[in-house]
């Protein structure tokens, strides 16, 4: 029988477990996977110095939890239980490999760090969190940029392969193969789990920031599932970028990313109503936004904009700041937003950015001008399978009172969307124009 993968234990409705494990246990394991996977893998990899073996040990711990928690109940501290189980699996793996004598001290006492600063001195780079260590390790320049990001999201962040595939707009088999190749490259190249040297950090930083940003986006708007948001990934990303700012305070793009996440996350409580229905930006209660987070983010944007030309995360944060500081939706400075999108396209010429720019253009110059831009993107084919493209097109057609065409676009978006809250919103818009 196939051993369940970490994608399996991360799925509440896993069919393989439904017959033997209660819903309570499956939910507890899935929740622990979302919250604990990255930290468990990072600490186990630090002990074993073998990423592939560490993943197997942690995966086995989750599989064991399904049976153990069914028999004895869900423990109060699920993370501690899983940590003990993963450590025990690591011990067994080392024993099988006949290296117990030389490695036992790694498992029974804290590992002495070769690069730890001397007593009384400031900590060296990346000493605060094993997850951050592992993110930097997986973002190794020996791997292609997209492989770095995909591997790190899967292994360290615990994002499911299907959700990563949606993020990259590729099929799940394609993404699974990409992640497998990246893991094999790490093993074959002898890339060790360790703290990069200070001069190695800059070349890895962009990938690290991208990983944290994409982790946040999977929490801000879940690629799939019943709810619009997932708090755990978003808050984990915020924790990581705060640590990164402490470790690299002079990096402007670190400030920019922290600002972006703070300002965006400040709206989390208002993005759905009490029934979980998606609320558009103009429908949200701005008085309920986290103003302290917005103010902190705005100050960081101002700092990050000083000096040389800003990077992609700083520009995105500046756009978010314009939205967050407008007293009302009608007061949004759409001209300023368009200028910032033009700058963003220069440093990050992405079709997704172009689509977002078209949304702003619709507010500034009207839906007809924006529709022409969206149709250009549609014909280019770079956003095939991206449900926001037909969703934006449908909204523009609706505003132009071209209802049959809008209905067709809404149906296309529904076919591509996997998040139930977004699907419900699209279905309601479709019903409005089909049966007004």
Alpha carbons within 13 A on the beta-carbon side of 387: 20
- Closest by alpha carbon to 265, among 305, 228, 217, 303? 217
Token readout for 320 is 């978010």
What does the alpha-carbon distance between residue 160 and residue 11 come to, in Å, rounded to a whole number? 9
Report pLDDT for 190.
Answer: 67
Mean pLDDT of 367-382: 96
| 290-337 tens-digit pLDDT | 999 999 999 999 999 987 889 999 999 999 999 999 999 999 999 999
Bridge-based pairing of strands 418-419 and 224-225 is parallel
User: Measured on CA atoms in the order 224, 229, 235, 241, is the torsion positive or negative?
Assistant: positive
Angle at 254 between CA 253 and CA 256, to 5 degrees: 60
Distance in angstroms between the alpha carbons of the first and the last residue of the chain: 53
What does the alpha-carbon distance between residue 383 and residue 174 come to, in Å, rounded to a whole number? 17
What own/partner pairs with CB < 8 Å and gap ≥ 24 does 325-329 have? 325/294, 325/298, 327/286, 328/286, 329/281, 329/282
Residue 221 in contact with residue 269, Cβ under 8 Å?
Answer: no
Mean pLDDT of 175-201: 77
What does the alpha-carbon distance between residue 257 and residue 263 come to, in Å, rounded to a whole number? 10
Q: Look-up: residue for tokens 């400040």?
A: 266
Report pLDDT for 388.
Answer: 97
Residues β-bridged to residue 419: 225
Which of the listed ranges 177-181, 257-261, 381-385 does the model predict with the highest average pLDDT? 257-261
Mean pLDDT of 282-286: 96
pLDDT band at 12 (very low <50, low <70, confident <90, very high): very low
Domain ranges of the chain: 1-109, 126-230, 250-334
* 5 pLDDT more than 70: no
pLDDT band at 88 (very low <50, low <70, confident <90, very high): confident
Report pLDDT for 2.
Answer: 39
Residues β-bridged to residue 209: none
User: Measured on CA atoms in the order 400, 404, 405, 408, is the torsion positive or negative?
Assistant: positive
Residue 407 CA, distance from chain mean position: 31
Report pLDDT for 108.
Answer: 47
């Amino acid at each position: 029988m196939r051993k369940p993968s970490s994608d399996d234990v991360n799925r509440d409705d896993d069919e393989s477990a439904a017959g033997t494990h209660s819903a309570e246990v499956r939910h507890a394991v899935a929740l622990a996977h979302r919250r604990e996977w990255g930290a468990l893998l990072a600490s186990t990899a630090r002990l074993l110095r073998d990423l592939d073996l560490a993943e197997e040990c942690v995966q086995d711990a989750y599989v064991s939890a399904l049976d153990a928690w069914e028999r004895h109940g869900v423990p109060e501290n699920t993370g501690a239980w899983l940590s003990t189980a993963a450590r025990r699996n690591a011990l067994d793996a080392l024993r099988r490999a006949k290296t117990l004598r030389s490695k036992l001290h790694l498992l029974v006492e804290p590992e002495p760090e070769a690069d730890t600063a001397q007593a009384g001195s400031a900590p060296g780079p990346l000493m605060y969190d094993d997850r951050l260590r592992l993110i930097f390790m997986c973002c190794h320049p020996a791997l292609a940029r997209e492989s770095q990001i995909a591997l790190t999201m899967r292994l360290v962040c615990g994002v499911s392969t299907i959700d990563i595939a949606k993020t990259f707009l590729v099929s799940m088999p394609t993404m699974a193969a990409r992640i497998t190749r990246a893991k094999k490259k790490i093993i074959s190249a002898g890339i060790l789990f360790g703290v990069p040297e200070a001069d190695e950090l800059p070349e890895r930083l962009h990938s690290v920031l991208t990983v944290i940003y994409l982790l946040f986006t999977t929490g801000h708007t879940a690629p799939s599932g019943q709810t619009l948001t997932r708090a755990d990934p978003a808050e984990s990303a915020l924790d990581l970028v705060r640590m990164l700012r402490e470790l690299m305070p002079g990096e402007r793009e670190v400030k920019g990313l922290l600002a972006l996440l703070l300002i965006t996350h400040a709206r989390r409580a208002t993005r759905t109503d009490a029934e979980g229905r998606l609320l558009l930006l103009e429908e949200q209660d701005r008085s309920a936004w986290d103003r302290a987070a917005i103010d902190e983010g705005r100050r960081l944007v101002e700092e990050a904009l000083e000096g040389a030309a800003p990077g992609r995360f700083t520009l995105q944060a500046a756009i978010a700041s314009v939205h967050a500081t407008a007293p009302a939706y009608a007061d949004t400075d759409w001209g300023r937003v368009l200028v910032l999108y033009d700058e963003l396209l220069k440093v990050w010429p992405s079709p997704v950015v172009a689509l977002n720019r078209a949304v702003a253009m619709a507010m500034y110059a009207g839906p007809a001008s924006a529709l022409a831009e969206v149709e250009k993107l549609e014909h280019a084919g770079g956003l095939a399978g991206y449900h926001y493209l037909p969703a934006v097109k449908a909204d523009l057609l609706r505003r132009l009172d071209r209802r049959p065409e809008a209905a067709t676009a809404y149906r296309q978006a529904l076919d591509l969307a996997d998040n139930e809250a977004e699907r419900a919103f699209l279905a309601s818009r479709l019903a409005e124009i089909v049966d007004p």
